[in-house]
Amino acid sequence: MLAAVYVPGNERLVLDRHYPIRELHDNEVLLKVAAAGVCHSDVALLSGVGLDTRKYIFGHEACGTPIKLGTKVDAHAVQKGKLYSVLALDNCTLGLSGGPAIFNSFGIGKDGAYAEYLIVPEDSLVPVPNGVPPEVAAIASDAGITAYHAVQDAAQVKPGDKVLIFGVGGLGHLAVQYAKHLGATVYACDFKPAARKLALELGATEAFDLIELNKKTTAGFTVDTTIDFVANNQTFNLAMASLRGNDVHFPSRPKCVMVGASAENLVFNTFDTLASGVQILGSTYGDRSVLATVLDLFAKGSIRAHVHSEPLENVNKVIDELRAFEIIGRKVVIPHSKA
Ligand SMILES: [Zn+2]
C-alpha cells in the first residue's frame, strides 16, 4: 500500500508505494483510511525533538471504515463500511522507555494513518454520526478533542467568562467556537491577518495582533482565561499580562491554559503568579467521551471546521506549509483520492 513513512534523521516523510500490511491481532481492526489530518506535532517530530529511532508511518488524526476484523472483535459493535473516528490513545497504551504513552500510539511510534490502510485496536474506534464528512471526522480525533478538552475541562469556561485564545490555527479556530458555544465572550490573538479574520467570522468579539494586544493590556485589558495554542515566550507573557488584572478581584483564580508545544522554556515569577492568583495549567488531548461530544457538535452544525483536503502524495507539501505557518484552519490528506 501507499504510505508516508518517518525515517529517523530525515525531515521529510518517505513515500513508499509497497509498504506491507501486517496481520491483525485478535482485538484489532483493519481500516480503509478515509482522511488523516496533518498536525503541528508532525513538524516537531520531524525535527527530531522526540529522539525517536523507530521507522513508522506518520498520521495520528484519522477516520476510516473497517474492512477486516480481528477474530475477537465484536462484529455488532464494529460494523464494516461504517465511518469511525480513531482515538490515538487507549487505556492500555504503554509509554516508550517509561516516557509518555502518547509516544507509543498510532502515527507517533506505531504505524499511523498517512497510508491507504490503518490497523488499530477495536476500543479506539468511535462511530461518526451521519452528516459529518470524513475530513471533519478526522480532525475531530485530535484537533477537535484537544481544543475541546482545553476549553471545557482545563479552562472550565462558563457563561459570561472573558476568554482569550492565542493561535487561531487547526485547534484554535475550534477553541474560539467552543468557548463561544459555552457562553463566553471570546478574544483572539494571532500574527496572521487571515487567522484574525477567521476568528471574527467564527464569533470572536475582537482579534488582535501581538502589538495591539500589548497596547490593550497596558491600558488595562483583562480576561478570566487564556488558552494558548502557541505557547512561546511572547504569547505566554501577553497571557500573563492579560490575566494579572484579576488580582483586583482577589481571590479570583484566572487560568492560563497551555496547549501549544513550543520548544521554548517559559519563565515566570512566583511572587507575581501567587499575587495575581493565576493558575498555569497544561492540557493535552481528550478521551472517548470528548470525541463523541465533539462529533455530535459537528453533526448538529454547532461548530464549523475550516478544513481543506489534499491527496496523500502531497503530505510533505502540506507539512512544509505548516512549517511556514501558511495554513488557515486544518489540512487533511486523502489516501484514496485517485481511486
Ligand atoms: Zn496532533
Tens digit of pLDDT for each residue in 59-75?
A: 999 999 999 999 999 99
249-282 pLDDT tens trace: 666 789 999 999 877 899 999 988 888 889 999 9
Gap from CA of 205 to ligand 1 centroid (Å): 28
How is residue 302 written as a grid cell?
454547532
Domains along the chain with CATH numbers: 3-142+287-334 (3.90.180.10), 156-282 (3.40.50.720)
214-248 pLDDT tens trace: 999 999 999 999 999 999 999 999 999 999 886 55
Gap from CA of 5 to ligand 1 centroid (Å): 16
Q: Radius of gyration (Cα) for the chain, nearest Å?
A: 20
pLDDT score, position 261: 82
Kindly indicate the confidence band of residue 3, based on its pLDDT and cuts at 50, 70 and 90. very high
Residue 299 predicted with pLDDT over 80: yes
Gap from CA of 272 to ligand 1 centroid (Å): 33
Q: How crowded is the C-beta side of 333, counted as CA atoms within 13 Å?
A: 24
Gap from CA of 139 to ligand 1 centroid (Å): 9
Q: Which residues of 106-133 are buried (b: 16+ CB within 10 A; e: fewer)?
A: bbbbbbbbbbbbbbbbbbbbbebeeebb
Gap from CA of 170 to ligand 1 centroid (Å): 10
Report if pTM > 0.75: yes
Closest listed residue to residue 94, CA positions, set 59, 119, 121, 122: 121
pLDDT score, position 95: 47
Kindly indicate the confidence band of residue 94, based on its pLDDT and cuts at 50, 70 and 90. low
